């Protein structure tokens, strides 16, 4: 199942504040939308560093400098961006609320 990222605006907004994140975030978007992922195992085969935290999926972006927190509905083929954070912001844990 191909995955549609909802929404690229969250990635662009984060890149406005962190310009060095733009390239890696757009690379992530292109890769996620070009691949076919029916389940977490298939996602993990492409994104080795993705972790499942509760119902959310956390991707390391840009050589571990950034985190993209998402929800994924594999059956519907949708990925919702819940948060894009620096590594430091992620470590604070406020995104878990």
pLDDT in tens, the chain (97 residues): 789 999 899 999 999 999 999 999 999 999 999 999 999 999 999 999 999 999 999 999 999 899 999 999 999 999 999 999 998 888 787 666 5
Q: Are 50 and 62 in contact (CB under 8 A)?
A: no
Provide the CATH number for the domain formed by 4-96 in this structure: 3.30.2310.20
Q: Where are the domains of the chain?
A: 4-96
Using alpha carbons, select from 76, 49, 79 the residue that is nearest to residue 62: 49
For residue 95, CA distances in Å to 17, 35, 72, 82 come to 18, 27, 16, 8
């Amino acid at each position: 199942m191909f995955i549609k990222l909802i929404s690229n605006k969250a990635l662009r907004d984060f890149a406005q504040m962190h310009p060095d994140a733009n390239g890696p975030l757009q690379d992530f978007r292109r890769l996620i939308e070009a691949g076919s992922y029916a389940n977490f195992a298939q996602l993990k085969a492409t994104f080795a560093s993705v972790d499942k935290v509760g119902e959310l999926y956390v991707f390391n972006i840009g050589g571990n400098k950034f985190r993209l927190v998402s929800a994924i509905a594999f059956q519907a083929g949708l990925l919702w961006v819940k948060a894009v954070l620096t590594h430091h912001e992620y470590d604070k844990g406020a995104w878990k609320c």
